[in-house]
Chains A and B, each alone.
Chain A
Amino acid sequence: MRKIVAMLLVVMMALSCAAFVSAEDTITLDVIICQYGPKTEDWFLGTGMDGTNFVAKFEAENPGIKLNLDVVSWNDVYTEVSTRISNNKAPDILNIDVFANYAAEGLLLPVKEYCSEELFNDFFPSFIAQSVIDDTVWAVPDLASARALYYNIDLLKEAGVEKVPATWAELEDACQAIIDFYGGEVYPWGIDMTTDEGQAAFSYYVWNNDGGFVDADGNIAVNSEKNVEAIEFAIGLYNKGYTNPNPATQTRYDLQDMFGAGKLAMVIAPNQLPDYLAQKGYEGINFATAALPVNEGANPGATGVMDRVMAFKDDSLSAEEDAARKEAIGKFLTFFYAPENYVGWVSMEGFLPAVNSSVAALVEANPSFEAWLKVLDSCQFYPTSLDNWDAIKMGVINVEQNALTGGDVKTLLDELQATLVK
């Protein structure tokens, strides 16, 4: 009996040593992924990846690397990340939209230190350019979406609007025709100036009036004449009763629901809108897309939105451990962007890709992607490489909301400009 116990002890010791050795060889990466939709979590952690999930598949193909992956909602991700940073527990890999704050404070690793050259060259160069500060690339794009004008063909037709509005003047005429015909039963135009996405509304108007968040030299210029004119136009649409009644609290999703229910005639929305309407069960809506209306004489400006993946530094590691960690991060990216995985990820929630290698497969699966990829080519993006982008974003939303309650657009934008450049 004693012999058996002794043998068992020896075996247990041997096993624990083995476990210790293997634990030493294992690198665990803390990863935060944003929840893009209902399928994100299932794809990364459940069974949404052909019966398995990203983590299981990655760990099976990359022995020695464990993923401690959290899927966090967009509402909570900023809180989660800053709390982790405050407690010195920044994630190894983070998927989010902004990066400049983290880069400016020296928290990020330059992409070239962990991303293979082959993968780096696979990204759309115009996308990579959006994540550069001082000639260093700090993040890579994970996906993108482009915005377009969606209009309800039947509603416009019934109201006698024969041409989809391409200019601001035509837009006002169309809105008035819809009001005249439906007498308030249908909102002609959707505006979301909420804290969720009021910056997008800002871009829809200023970029279609040759304005912008920054000037040609990249300096903040939120109070340019063009911007004042554009925002006054947008607020004018609200004041004339052409829009949804509460733009400060009705989010894009509220607008999409109204559009799906036939209560809203025109809305600017991302390329995933058809998927959204199908998922929510809105049927029988006869709609089409067009370019965003532009002010007479101005250049058209499409809005693109891009999110990113970035890696945080870990100064507590030895040179050897650091090299192994960077290699593991590189493997994560290579695996993520491999067409057999990435195509599923991008198409799952209806986004647009960020790498060339998946374009062919995506277009084959869904031919409408091609038109969107062309839109994406001409898109402008938010100036997220400015480290006070958060302040710019919240500032323009504040201006819009103040203007909705009667504030003077020029005064408000002048005040914001003064705050941002002081």
Chain B
Amino acid sequence: MNTILVRKKWIPYLWLLPSIVLMSVFVVFPILIVFRLAFSEISRAGVVGGFTGLDNFVAAVQDKAFGTVMGNTAIWVVSVVGLSTVLGFIVAMALNTEFFGRKIVRSIVIFPWATSLVIQASVWNYIIKYEYGNLNNVLLNLGIIKTAVNWRLTYQIEFAWECGIGIFVTIPFVTFCVLSGLQSIDAAYYEAATVDGAGFWKKLRHITLPLVRPSLTVSTVLNIIYVFNSFPIVYTITKGAPANKTDTMVTLLYMRAFYDQQKGPATAMSVIGFVILCIAAGAYMMLSMRKEEDL
């Protein structure tokens, strides 16, 4: 009897073991290495030296581009996660209604998410090209514009494009997270609300939103992490140019590590990013969970 109890107690851990091992090898171990490197001296060629205390962190924060890039990162994460969540929610609501060809539309919506980010970014790069871009070609052929437009006139516009592309590729993920939440809502709630005279907005506010909140929390937390760490879009479109003005934290640290050969400060930046992410994602989860408990 006792043995069975012991076995029962350990069996879940046994099932978890492969995941724990994989996580340790591919997640925890690299994180520990990055932390060690952030406190080590790293030569320009990449030779790892001794402990340097907070030198790398000081150098990272004193980097002339650090302030701009932190601002860019905040705009990037808030705009991409925020707008893709709103738009993804709307698309999910639309896809949750019955209409002809719904299955096909659902399949099409997944395309941007299923395609490699580098390819997507490269394709967008061609679309918005001034000289031979598809956007200019289409608009010229349709007679909407008479001469080609430089869609990348200033770096602010280029950064806005990057955010727009980020939103475009993130919408499907939010859509499918919310859609799964919407499909699990019992239709009886809506019927009861209709009987009580509730309109669309009241149903949305008092039934839909509270019941899809768990799905939204998951998609938002994961998106904060993905978008903060997203590298291909900015790197493919502008490489942070001009002079780091369109860089986000991740592209800046890559440029510092492998173009400027400042590997110590670059590693420190990645630790700073990791801490910011932990705090942001943790705070969002705690707030969401508290609201759920309040319900």
- Chain A residues in the interface with B (C-beta under 8 A): 78-79, 81-86, 101-102, 104-105, 107, 184, 193-195, 245-246, 248-249, 258, 261, 263, 387-388, 390-391, 394, 398, 401-402, 404-405, 407
A86 to B42, CA, bound (A): 9
Q: Which of B130, B242, B257, B258 has most A Cβ within 10 Å?
A: B242
**Min CB gap A59→B, angstroms:** 30
Chain B residue nearest to A80 in the complex (CB): B258
B242 close to A82 (CB less than 8 A): no
How many of chain B's residues have a CB under 8 angstroms from any CB in A?
A: 32
**Min CB gap A297→B, angstroms:** 31
B259 close to A405 (CB less than 8 A): no
Q: Which residues of A contact B42 (CB under 8 A)?
A: 86
**Contacts across chains A and B counted by CB atoms under 8 Å:** 92
Tell me whether B260 is interfacial, beta carbon within 8 Å: yes
A249 close to B241 (CB less than 8 A): yes
A107 close to B150 (CB less than 8 A): no
Q: Which residues of A contact B215 (CB under 8 A)?
A: none
Q: Which residues of B contact A195 (CB under 8 A)?
A: 239-241, 255, 259
B241 close to A248 (CB less than 8 A): yes
> Which stretch (B22-30, B44-52, B134-142) binds chain A?
B44-52
**Min CB gap A414→B, angstroms:** 14
A398 close to B45 (CB less than 8 A): no
Q: Which residues of A contact B261 (CB under 8 A)?
A: 78, 82, 101, 390-391
Chain B residue nearest to A247 in the complex (CB): B242
Tell me whether B238 is interfacial, beta carbon within 8 Å: yes
**Min CB gap B169→A, angstroms:** 20
A405 close to B242 (CB less than 8 A): yes
Q: Which residues of A contact B147 (CB under 8 A)?
A: 184
Chain A residue nearest to B237 in the complex (CB): A249
Q: Which residues of A contact B259 (CB under 8 A)?
A: 78, 195, 390, 394
Q: Per-position contact with A for B46-80: 1 when CB-CB < 8 Å, else 0?
A: 11100000000000000000000000000000000
**Min CB gap B159→A, angstroms:** 12
Chain A residue nearest to B262 in the complex (CB): A391
Q: Which residues of B contact A405 (CB under 8 A)?
A: 155, 242-243, 245
A135 to B115, CA, bound (A): 53
A388 to B132, CA, bound (A): 39
Q: Which residues of B contact A194 (CB under 8 A)?
A: 239, 241
**Min CB gap B140→A, angstroms:** 13
Q: Which residues of A contact B238 (CB under 8 A)?
A: 248-249
**Min CB gap A58→B, angstroms:** 27
B255 close to A82 (CB less than 8 A): no
